[in-house]
Amino acid sequence: WASPAMLLRAHACVVPFRGRSRHELLNELVGWCTAAQPFGARLLTGASGQGKTRLGEELIRRVSAMGWVAGRVVDRPPADALAALAMLDRPVLLVVDEAVARRELLGHLVTTGRSRNQPVRLLLLARATAYWADLPARPQFSSITTAPAGRLEPAEHEPDGRLDAWRDAAVAFASQLAR
């Protein structure tokens, strides 16, 4: 790692993925990905730090192992990224973190995703659903504004569970720092 602070990023996946409800949601999302529909979008909301990004990373890992092309949408994708997406011959999952800030890109992703012969799934991560009502009334946004929405609640509700999670995280970080 370039800096120990990089270990704190959800994308580093240092802390073990935990919580029965998280694993159930992950399994539900895998089922959604593999459903027999050509295109699908889902919105997952939750407060900052609830684990939306980490859940997205776990979904990426899971469907990648099944032969899908899967990854996070970056802030400024290369100009040829949409053309490359259109040419892929495998199912695609794209996780769009902070999706509200990427409205224009979302429109292009939906248009490109709908034109493909292979399945495309967009998992949209945001802090709240309120922002989706403001999307322009263009046809490509209908898949997003009508996408099923779910709310990610805290993984641990009880103090003992939070303490166990903290201990697991401390062990995981310590093992990474020892490398």
| 51 phi, psi to nearest 5 deg | 115, 20
Q: Give the integer Cα–Cα distance in Å for 41 and 39.
A: 7
Question: For 20-77, how does the pLDDT look when each residue is reduced to its tens digit (9 = 90+)?
Answer: 678 889 999 999 999 988 988 898 888 887 888 999 999 999 999 999 999 999 877 7
Q: Are 26 and 58 in contact (CB under 8 A)?
A: yes
CA angle 116, 122, 126 (to 5 degrees): 155
Number of H helices, E strands in the chain: 6, 5
Question: For 66-90, how does the pLDDT look when each residue is reduced to its tens digit (9 = 90+)?
Answer: 999 999 998 777 778 888 888 899 9
pTM of structure: 0.79
Q: Give the integer Cα–Cα distance in Å for 34 and 68.
A: 10
Longest dimension (CA), the chain: 52
